[in-house]
A and B are shown apart, each in its own frame.
Chain A
Amino acid sequence: MSETIVLEPVAEDRAASLLSVRIGWRNLWRNRRRTWLTTGGIAFSVLLVMFFMSMQFGQYAIMIDSATSLMAGQVQVQSSRYLQDSRFEDTIVEATPLIRLLQENRHIVSVAPRVEAFALVSADERSFGAQILGIDQAAELETVRYVKMLKTGSNLAGPDDAVLGSVLARNLGVAPGDEVVVLGSGKEGGIAALVLTVVGLLETGMADLDRSLLLAPLSTVQAGFGLGDEVHTLVVRMDDLSSSDRVVTQLTEQLPDALTVRAWQEILPELKQAIAVDKIGGQIMYWIIMVLVMFSVVNSFIMTVFERTREFGMMLAIGMRPRAIVAMLQWEALFLWVIGTAIGAGLASLLIIWLHDVGIYMGEQMEDYAKQFYMPARLYPGFSREVLTVAPLAMLVGTQVAALIPSLRIRRLRPIVALRTT
């Protein structure tokens, strides 16, 4: 009788052995043209997606920068209660030490304190409701742009100066040199009355502001409305938009609970939404590009598997497991991805870095427009983690899936049938 031989289990080494990896790599170079076409497709789509994404992000950076630097700032600090009810008496008390504290943060470029009040502004017989902003002229200039948008006259200098929105001034029939009277209610319920001299008119292009804004020196407004070292809002300019989230978290921890710190996404939710909508549009285009490339990868793997059926039959016959062959093809897909993505991401990075220096000229019209609003006239690409990772990772998943689809056939392949194919 024959000796009985027990089949010992085979080491796990089988699934991902070194030689399988080597086979996968060398197989790429069996059909160089196909490999270069496939990797070229991957490279091209990675390049395209990374480039467009970075331009898109660059555009968002400009949008955010121009929107926040107009008036709102990138970060604001307010009393939590003021934020809820907008009541005049819910101020930030002891504003000066708080400002100093904020200025110590290395990501914060400048802090502009504001007192915000509603009052009746009169000149001769005419009266209009106005938004009174008590500002620190120098800090405001460092922080935002709207104060520079003078139509005529000059910025605040003396304690009784006022700068009016151009439409408000027209409605009141005043020009620089004329006097206006501000009447409102102060903190303790007393009457706030100021007599100011118009020194300049503001034209921001924003109807709301031009119709209702009256700027006066911070200390004048504080005194007139019965406030001490108190303000309603601290408007913060950041060194870099990307640090605003981190600084908000940091300040929220650092400051008392009575204060709320908000970043631009909360201050200008409509801007955040506009960007989100635009991103979806971009994503649709990116997915179309990537799906098209995936089809070509799937196609190339279908051909590979088809051509190598007899070879796979032999491998199965000598005792290689189907899943080890599938794993080998996954390695091939991984190598295709590495090559394609390295080329695509490399070229995209070079392009982005170059454009980061020179920018893209947006045309004369844009240049005029940009100058008018103190915006950059050129579009610069933006770099972000998303730009760097989305396309490569999508391609990684895509190539692995693309290789898996045709190689599932291998699981049903019977070695003798495969060996008979010609």
Chain B
Amino acid sequence: MSDVVVRCSGISRTYQEESVPVQALQDVDFEVCKGEFISLAGPSGSGKSTLLNIIGGLDRPDKGDVEVAGVKLNDLNESELSDLRLQKMGFVFQAYNLIPVLSARENVEFIMQLQGVSPAERASRATAVLEQLGVEGMADRRPGELSGGQQQRVAVARAIVTRPVLLLADEPSANLDSATTRELLEMLRTLNETHGVTIVAATHDPIVMSYARRQVNLRDGRIVEDKQNEAA
């Protein structure tokens, strides 16, 4: 468990957009090893999403270095960051994860098409991953015809079908009831334990924290606690 997938050292991020500058992250050091399942916890505004976005190459720190899978993100331009996200990252957001006019299967195939995967391989991988997440019966439905939990499963399917080095989830359970949240988390745990998918999830949700094996607490843009979750 010593393979480092993410290494953040001394990262700070200040938002200047408002009249008062907001320090979203202050001098954060953070590492993620291969195979971990981490929850980023903390009150609203503590910097969870900011950290997740910086790791995912969606945002840049004002200070500090970020290295993902051996690639220094600071050195990449926008197009290279875009390619990195496509090939190395899987994203699950709180909502609006899926393209509304594509079916579940097409959503999963779409990202592989962006990667240039051949049609035959796209089809077989999409079938496999939808099955794995228990939504094979919904393959031809569009997101609007799926429940919130089913949508999130398809989103996870879309995120992992590319075999990313890192699965990043921002409030994946925010729109789900607790039973559905547990089902989704069981899936994520299986992916983590049996398929070795590395997961980092930003969340307020105690259920999500209880499934994660490591919990990192943030407050005012700093890591205040970093603990292993023995119960998980």
Contact = CB atoms under 8 A, between A and B. Distances in A.
Interface of A: 1-5, 7-11, 13-14, 17-19, 22-23, 26-27, 30, 310-311, 314-321, 324, 415-416, 419
Contact of A319 (B97, B99, B114): B114
Interface residues of B, number: 41
Contacts of A14: 113-114, 116
Interface in B67-84: 67, 69-71, 79-80, 82-84
B101 A17 contact: no
B43 interface: no
Nearest to A4: B70
B4 A2 contact: yes
A404 B80 CA distance: 24
B82 A321 contact: yes
A318 B71 CA distance: 18
Contacts of A22: 101-102, 106
Given A10-B86, A14-B113, 17 more contacts: A2-B4, A4-B69, A4-B71, A7-B80, A8-B87, A10-B87, A17-B113, A18-B113, A22-B102, A23-B101, A30-B101, A311-B100, A319-B84, A319-B87, A319-B89, A320-B82, A324-B114
B128 to A, nearest CB: 19
A4 B4 CA distance: 11
A298 to B, nearest CB: 22
B113 A319 contact: no
Nearest to A310: B96
A18 to B, nearest CB: 7
11 contacts: A3-B70, A10-B115, A13-B116, A19-B110, A26-B101, A317-B56, A317-B91, A319-B84, A319-B85, A319-B114, A324-B114
Contacts of B53: 416
B187 interface: no
A291 B87 CA distance: 43
B96 A319 contact: no
B83 A319 contact: yes
A5 B69 contact: yes
Given A26-B101, A314-B93, A5 B86 contact: no
B8 to A, nearest CB: 13
B182 interface: no
B164 to A, nearest CB: 10
Given A4-B70, A22-B102, A11 B87 contact: no
B100 A30 contact: yes
Nearest to B110: A19
Contacts of A310: 96
Nearest to A26: B101
A331 to B, nearest CB: 12
Contact of A1 (B4, B87, B93, B100): B4
Interface in B103-135: 106, 109-111, 113-116
B99 A311 contact: yes
A17 B102 CA distance: 14
B86 A318 contact: yes
Contacts of A321: 79, 82
